[in-house]
Amino acid sequence: MKRLSWIASVAGLGLVGALGGAWASGVVTAQDAPESLLPPGFDDPVPAPTPTPVPTALPTAAPQPATPQPGTPSVVQPGPAPVLGDLPSVPQISSEELSELPSVEELEEMSTDQLDDLLGLKPQYDIPPAARRSLSQVGLLDPEEGGLPTESLSRQPAALVRAVLGGTRKPLVSRWGHILLRRALASRLATPEGMNPVEFAALRAGVLNRLGEHVVARSLAQDVDTGNWNEALTSEALTAYIAAADFVGACPAVRLQGSAREDAQWVMLQAICNAYAGEGALAGSQLDRALGEELAPPIDVLLAQRYAGAAGRGRRAVEIEWEGVEELNPWRFALANAVGETVPEALIEDADPYYERTAAVGAMVPLAQRALFAQRAAREGILSAHAMIQLYSQIYADTSISGEAADDAARLREAYIADDPASRVAAMRTMWGTLDDELDQPDYAASVTTAFAAARISPSGALARHSGELIASMLTAGLDRDAASWASVVEQGSLGWALVVTARPNGGAVSEAAVASFIEENGSYEARKSAFLVAGLGGLGRISQSELNGLSSELDLALSRQTRWSQMIERAADAGNPTLVAMLAGLGMQGASWEQMTPLHLYHITSALSRVGLEAEARMIAAEAVARG
C-alpha cells in the first residue's frame, strides 16, 4: 500500500506541472510559487565571461577574489589561462609503415583479441596479481600425496637435469619404470639451480608427452600461470591439449598470446577460440579463408569448421570427406574423435602408437574401439588395472557391443564369479592366450586386466603349474603380498618361485643353488629370464657379492662394467636423491621391447632405487623383467 500511495503522489506532481499554476495555487497555500530544490545559485543563469587577453607571462601573484555581496550567489569565475609550452613533435609515419596498417575491411574482421593485440592493449597476464601462483615449486603431487621430495633437484646442476630430461625421447620398456618416471615428473618440485622454472616445467611436460601421458602433461602446464608460458611450454601444452582433444582448453593461451605464432594450427585454434568466445561469424570467415588459401589440408580445416560450428547457433553443416587422405596427424585424429567423426580403419591400422595411447583415454572414443587401443596403454603403464576393469565393465553392460571386446568382458567376469578356481583360472588363461600352450608368453595387457582376479585365487598345489602366470598378473598391479602367499606352493626353480623371491617385501637371501636351478630349468631366449633374475637379485642385495660375481661370470653378464650412465646413477644414489635416480632410471629404460633392455642396466637401476628408498619400485621392475624377459 505504501508503494501504491508513493506512485500516486508522483503522478499527482506530474499532473500539477501539466495543468498550470491556477490549480496549483488552490492547493499550495504556503507559497506563491514552487520552491527550487537546487542550492542557491545553481538555478541562476551563469553570466557570460568577459573576454580577457592571454597574458604574455604568468602573474606574479594570484588575484584576490572579490567579496560577494549579501544575497548574491557565489559564482566561480574562470582564472587566467596558463601559458602552454611547446607541443611535442608528432612522429612522422613513413609510407611503408602506412602500407602495413590494416584496411577498414580487415579491421572489421578482426576479433577483440586481435584488435587489442594490434593496438597494444592486450594484457600480459589474464590472472589478477593476488591470484597468481608462485613458480618456486611446480607440480601436481606433494610428498604427502605420494610425490617425491620437493627440494631433491633444487641444488642439482641445471645442465645435468636438462640433459637427462632432454635425452628421454622414447617410451620405456618397463611398465613399472613408466609409472615411477611419471610419478617423478608429476611431483611438486623446486627448480634446479640455474634453470628457469618455466623451462623446467616445459622439459617435464615434454617427457610426459613422449611417454603418452598427455593428460598429466596438460595438468602440469596448467600449474603454471598462462601469462608465464614461454614458447617451449606453450608448444608442449598445445601438444597435450590436442592429444586430449581439449581444444577449448588451449584458448586462454591462444587468446592471450594473440599473433605470437602464424602457423596453420595456431590460426585454426584462434578461429575455434573465437567461435567459443561468441564470435562465430569471425571464426567462420577465418576458417573459410584458411580453406580458400590452402593454409592446411582440407580435411584439417573441415574438421575445425565442424568443431567451431558446434559453438554457434547456426549449426552450419560441414561434410567431412576422407577420400584422398592417406595418413593421420594428431590434429585431425583428435578433432575427428571430438566431433564424433569415424576415422577410416585403413588409416588406423598402420598408424603410429601415439594414436593408441591417446585414444585409450579418450572418453569420446567408442568403447569397443577404445578396448583395442587400451591394450598398449595397459602394457606401457598409462592405464592401471583398475582402469581396465572399469573399461570392460562398461563394455559388458552395453549389450549392443559384440566381438572380441565383448568376449573379453565376459571372460573377465567369469574370472571373478566362476564356481571353482580352475574355471576362473581357465578364463584368465584364455585372456592371456596361454590356454593351449604352456610355453606361450602371456599377453601382458591381459595380465594387467586380470591382476585382481588372479589375487582372488587361493594358493593351491593343484594350480601350482599356473603359479607363474598368476603371480605375474598380480604383480602388474603391485599385489606383492598376495604373490608372496604362494611361496609355500611354488616349486624351486620355477617361474613362480623366481617372481616370489624377487618381488616379496622384506625378502631374505636367495641361495646360489636355487638360482642355478632356475637357470637350468629356464628355456627363455638367450637365457634372458635367467640373466634378469641374477641382475635383479644382485641389485636388490638378495644374493651375496661373491655369488653375484660367479653367476654373472657364468652367464657372461659383465655387471661390473661401468658406463657414463651407470656412474651417474650410482652417484645420484650415493647422494640419496630419489628424484634424480628415478629420472636416470627412465633414461636407461628407453626402448620398444625388453630385447633392448640389458642386465647391466637392470642391475644398476634396482640397486640405485633400493638405496634411495624406492625398494618397492625396484622389486616390481626386477620381477617384471623376469616375467617379460
Average pLDDT rounded to a whole number, residues 536-564: 94
- Whether residue 509 is predicted with pLDDT greater than 60 in this model: the reply is yes
**E strand or H helix that includes residue 251:** helix 251-257
Q: Pull the grid cell for residue 620.
A: 616390481
Q: Give 54's pLDDT tier (boundaries 50, 70, 90).
A: very low
Query: Is 312 or 347 the better-scoring residue by pLDDT?
Result: 347
pLDDT in tens, 143-174: 999 999 999 999 999 999 999 999 999 999 99
Radius of gyration of the chain (CA): 37
* Count of Cβ atoms closer than 10 Å to residue 341 Cβ: 17
CB contact at 8 A, 435 and 426: yes
* Count of Cβ atoms closer than 10 Å to residue 403 Cβ: 11
Q: Pull the grid cell for residue 30.
A: 504556503
pLDDT of residue 125: 57
pLDDT of residue 136: 93
User: Which amino acid is it at 529?
Assistant: K
Distance CA 381, CA 589 (A): 13
pLDDT in tens, 396-436: 999 999 999 999 999 999 999 999 999 999 999 999 999 87
- One DSSP character per residue, 452-475 reads HHHHTSPP-GGGGGGHHHHHHHHH
Its sign, for the CA torsion 457, 462, 464, 466, is negative
pLDDT of residue 42: 40
Distance CA 514, CA 517 (A): 5
The torsion region of residue 483 among left (phi > 0), alpha (psi -120 to 50) and beta comes to alpha
pLDDT in tens, 467-502: 999 999 999 999 999 999 999 999 999 999 999 999
Question: Distance between terminal CA atoms of the chain?
Answer: 90
Its sign, for the CA torsion 481, 483, 485, 488, is negative
Q: Give 555's pLDDT tier (boundaries 50, 70, 90).
A: very high
Q: Residue 50, class by beta-carbon neighbours within 10 Å (0-12 exposed, 13-18 middle, 19+ buried)?
A: exposed
- Whether residue 229 is predicted with pLDDT greater than 60 in this model: the reply is yes
Q: 190 φ, ψ to 5°? A: -80, 150
CB contact at 8 A, 624 and 600: no
Average pLDDT, the chain: 85
Its sign, for the CA torsion 548, 553, 556, 562, is positive
Distance CA 517, CA 98 (A): 86
- Whether residue 614 is predicted with pLDDT greater than 80 in this model: the reply is yes
pLDDT in tens, 245-297: 999 999 999 999 988 888 999 999 999 999 999 998 899 999 999 999 999 99
Three-class DSSP category at 140 = coil
pLDDT in tens, 579-588: 999 999 999 9
- One DSSP character per residue, 521-561 reads H---GGGHHHHHHHHHHHHHT-S-HHHHHHHHHHHT--TT-
Distance CA 264, CA 268 (A): 6
For residue 141, the cross-strand partners are 187
CB contact at 8 A, 621 and 602: yes
Number of H helices, E strands in the chain: 33, 2
